[in-house]
Amino acid sequence: MKAAIYPGSFDPVTYGHLDVIHRAASIFDELTVSVLNNVMKTPLFSVEERVKILMEATAELPNVKVEAFSGLLIDYAAKKDIHVAIRGLRAITDFEYELQIAQTNKLLSKGKLDTMFLTTSLEYAYLSSTSVKEIASFNGDISQCVPPFVAKLIYEKYGHRK
């Protein structure tokens, strides 16, 4: 069985992430979307909220599961006996950062964890969780960026009613 992990912060999940999830789920038999519980950052949504949101957003994909993880990705992947991590590449600006993470993971895992990049579909190439949060914080329109139920939850966090 071909299995992969798609790790990320997903704070919050965007249509760009969902595009990568759909495409990776059609390539692999099983895809685990792994939500980083990063104690160094203060996210908008708790890790439990992000997992719940992702579960709802991927409910129609039977071979996708969602989990939280903390610590090193290579340790988490080794425990699950998974050897491929998926990452989305939006533009050349992502490349340097992503290449650094991929090479570090390859080195630390002694070659056991490889990274596969999926280029984000062009219509989502501009999207980032950070800009979605900024737009929503000013009560701007994020309907093209995230599913309606996610937009509602984001606006609620910023005290906006839609």
> Which residues carry out catalysis?
17, 41, 90, 129
105 makes contact with ligand PNS (CB under 6 A): yes
Task: Pick the piece of the chain touching ligand PNS (CB under 6 A) from 3-11, 57-65, 119-127, 139-147.
Answer: 3-11
Instruction: Say if residues 23 and 64 touch (Cβ distance below 8 Å).
Output: no
For ligand PNS, the closer CB: 100 or 139: 100
Q: How many CA atoms lie within 13 A of 143 on its CB side?
A: 2
**Which amino acid is it at 91?**
A
102 makes contact with ligand PNS (CB under 6 A): no
Task: Pick the piece of the chain touching ligand PNS (CB under 6 A) from 6-14, 25-33, 43-51, 120-128.
Answer: 6-14
Distances in Å between the Cα of 140 and the Cα atoms of 1, 10, 15, 99, 136 are: 43, 20, 17, 33, 5
For ligand PNS, the closer CB: 8 or 53: 8
Query: Distance (Å, rounded) from C-alpha 7 to C-alpha 5?
Result: 6
CB of 31 to ligand PNS, least distance (A): 15
End-to-end CA distance of the chain: 44
Write each residue from 58 to 77 as x if it is in contact with ligand PNS (CB under 6 A), else as -, in one continuous string. --------------xx----
Q: Which residue in the set 61, 101, 118, 135 belongs to the binding site for ligand PNS (CB under 6 A)?
A: 101
| 101 phi and psi angles, rounded to 5 deg | -65, -45
